Amino acid sequence: MKYKMDLVSPAVFIGKQGKGVISFGSGQPDLPPPKEAIQGIDIRKDLRYGLIQGEYPLREALSNEYPNSTADNFVITNGASEALDLIFRAWGKGKVLLPKPYYYSYLPLVEMAGMEPVFTDLVEGRIDIDDFKKKIKGCKAVLINSPSNPTGRVELIETLKEIEKITAKLGVYVISDEVYKDLIYERENYHIKGGHVITVNSFSKTYAMCGVRVGYLWSSDKKVVDDVIELKTHTSMNTNLVGQDMALRAMAVPKKYVIDQKEIWRKRRDRIYNGFCELGFDLWRPEGAFYIFPKCRNAREFLATLFLKYKVIFYLGEWFGAPDRIRLSYALDEAQIDKGLECIKAAMKKVRCL
């Protein structure tokens, strides 16, 4: 067991909602899921195993969202996490390029599968295409996450198109983790395409149903799809059927649900971004997802102080490959964000963090 991150790690904080706790930790919407996804659900009486690949109606509905696709291009998984885990395990060797900082599970998932991580350092939170070109050679795959957890940044469309082209030419797989695709403040999502692309996605963030654990992968590469199904037969079998039924209903919800939520996120984004600027932190303005990733000195001491004295939770940047930063999710209402900012201001008097 190499991946014990810390005494205070996401494994400790996830799902914890204590009284009086203000958690900027776990990255999950606090907004309610669409009522259509949870009300009037008839739980099916036949609860035998479903297809390992996932229920046909859900995969068919998804195929309408992906150009030139059929239900065969999808595998429904226990969240995006399991999709990534199975893809890497199906390969089991070779190099994976990870833009750094990265989502904290990427590194363990790559290494546990027996693959080797290679890093390209983000510049101002975005991919540096020159470094990318150097590092991508000899890789089996690159894992892109735009909008990014933890940086909150969105890649330029021209960068994504260039990555699409370079990797196609070299025969390198692009795994595009697009779980925040519906949460971009500046523009529409640019969906990376191609026969060498594996898209990973989820219902968790868009429909505020993280705990239901329904995600999926899309690929037009039959071998990738078949290999993942074969593995999943042994490791977890079908993704839970009730969750898949809920996901299908969520997909039928009017677009307004997503648009309205984005407006709420935008306000919160402005609130916390401005708040942190006023406190003197050095940080990027989030363009998507719901994270800020400010620079921070003595981050461990700052975390301990905030957690123990003020019941405020945030995550350490070192879990994401950036020891000089901290990550805060702003999936909280504005009153809580303000209260959290007050606590942070107070803690800054005790710990030198700028």
Minimum CB–partner distance for residue 263 and its own copies (Å): 21
Site size with its own copies, rule: CB under 8 A: 68
- Answer yes or no whether residue 242 interacts with its own copies by CB under 8 A: yes
Q: Is 130 in the site for its own copies (CB under 8 A)?
A: no
Considering only residues 63 through 92, tell me which ones interact with its own copies, judged by CB under 8 A: 78-79, 81-82, 85, 89-90, 92
Q: Which of 76, 109, 144, 200 binds its own copies (CB under 8 A)?
A: 109
Segment lying near its own copies (by CB under 8 A), choices 4-12, 68-76, 263-271, 321-329? 4-12
221 binds its own copies (CB under 8 A): no
Burial class (CB in 10 A: 0-12, 13-18, 19+), 38: middle
What is the distance of C-alpha 65 from the center of its chain? 19
Q: Is 4 in the site for its own copies (CB under 8 A)?
A: yes
| Helix spans in the chain (H) | 10-13, 35-38, 56-63, 79-91, 106-112, 129-136, 157-170, 222-235, 241-251, 256-278, 299-310, 334-347
Asked if residue 44 binds its own copies (CB under 8 A), the reply is yes
Span from 34-42, 125-133, 193-201, 320-328 in contact with its own copies (CB under 8 A): 34-42
Check binding of 182 to its own copies (CB under 8 A): no
Q: Respond yes or no on whether the N-terminal peptide bond of residue 286 is cis (omega within 30° of 0).
A: no
CA angle 308, 314, 315 (to 5 degrees): 115
Nearest residue (CB) to its own copies, 228 versus 341 = 228
Other C-beta atoms lying within 10 Å of the C-beta of residue 231: 18
Q: Vertex 290, ends 335 and 217: CA angle to 5°?
A: 145
Any contact of residue 238 with its own copies (CB under 8 A)?
yes
143 in contact with its own copies (CB under 8 A): no
Q: Which of residues 189-218 bind its own copies (CB under 8 A)?
A: 208-214
Which CB atom, from 49 or from 335, has the smaller least distance to its own copies?
A: 49
With binding defined as CB under 8 A, does residue 345 bind its own copies? no
Between CA 11 and CA 208 the distance in angstroms is 20
User: CA 136, CA 77: separation in Å to the nearest integer?
Assistant: 28
Q: Which stretch binds its own copies (CB under 8 A): 13-21, 120-128, 154-162, 254-262?
A: 13-21
Torsion of CA 332, 280, 291, 347, to 10 degrees: -50
Q: What whole-number distance in Å separates Cα of residue 354 and Cα of residue 112?
A: 36
**234 lines the binding site for its own copies (CB under 8 A):** yes
CB of 8 to its own copies, least distance (A): 13
Please tell me whether residue 252 binds its own copies under the rule CB under 8 A: no
**112 near its own copies (CB under 8 A):** yes
- In Å, what is the CA distance from 39 to each residue of 134, 249, 260? 51, 10, 20
Contact call for residues 53 and 218 (beta carbons, < 8 A): no
